[in-house]
Amino acid sequence: MLQLVRILLTHGRRLAETAADQAHNPQFATIAAVFGTYNLAFIVLRVQRGILRAIALERYLLARAGRGRDITIVPPRNRTPATPPATPQPARIPTPTYGRFLDPSHPANFHIPTLQELEAQIRRRPIGRTIADICTDLAVIPGFCTAQFWSGLFDTLQFYGGSLTAMYESRGHREQTFRRERDKRPETWHCNWQDLRPATIRHLLGHLIGETPPALVLATPPP
């Protein structure tokens, strides 16, 4: 699991470093679509939060390993159907609520917890939920990953309390948001935002998630 988290962390850091350079590339639409916006500042905020989550989880896993403690597998929950009451109950009239709904995906309502807050959150809930949150923040989708990495991620979420359903719901919501934004930006209509060919993803991200990242080429200093 530690290796999986480190792969996600490497991906997040590379994405944070290269997003600004790729923003003017027509193929950047593929990245924008999975984040739900062309707003580069908001994309970077999401990535930064995903990086922080991954750092916090890495520290937590290392601490547990240092104490010789394994991560507990979370058994699937079996929902028992509710037993209907013996006699009909009067219908409850819902209490009206007031106030404006705050969409957490809107930039104005975005929040980045501190590293300490994230570490406290990790300690009190299943590991899989944090991994799902990291993937959501970093907009990890199957098309960005090698088949082997996605399979391992799928198993990790399944066995450690994560939810693929929540990830797919978030992706669907972002796609709808992206479509609405794109409709107002005719200069982007020629961009194919559904291009998930491996060659396109490697061009945008440098590599598929799960592949070995290309080595950084350091310039040789003059003698």
Residue 87 structure tokens: 């006699």
Q: What is the mean pLDDT of residues 74-89?
A: 52
Q: How far apart are CA 29 and CA 1, in angstroms?
A: 31
Name the residue with tokens 């991954």: 54
- Residue 152's nearest CA partner among 71, 198, 210, 206 is 210
Q: Where are the domains of the chain?
A: 2-76+111-205
- Residue 122's nearest CA partner among 110, 134, 111 is 134
The 10s digit of each residue's pLDDT in 138-178 is: 999 999 999 999 999 999 999 999 988 989 999 999 999 99
- What's the pLDDT at 74? 58
Q: How far apart are CA 31 and CA 204, in angstroms?
A: 8
Reported as a pLDDT band with limits 50, 70 and 90, residue 221 is very low
* pLDDT at residue 70 tops 70: no
Question: In the beta sheet, which residues pair with residue 54?
Answer: none
Q: What is the mean pLDDT of residues 179-185?
A: 94
Return the CA Rg of the chain.
21
pTM for the full model?
0.80
* pLDDT at residue 220 tops 50: no
* pLDDT at residue 48 tops 90: yes
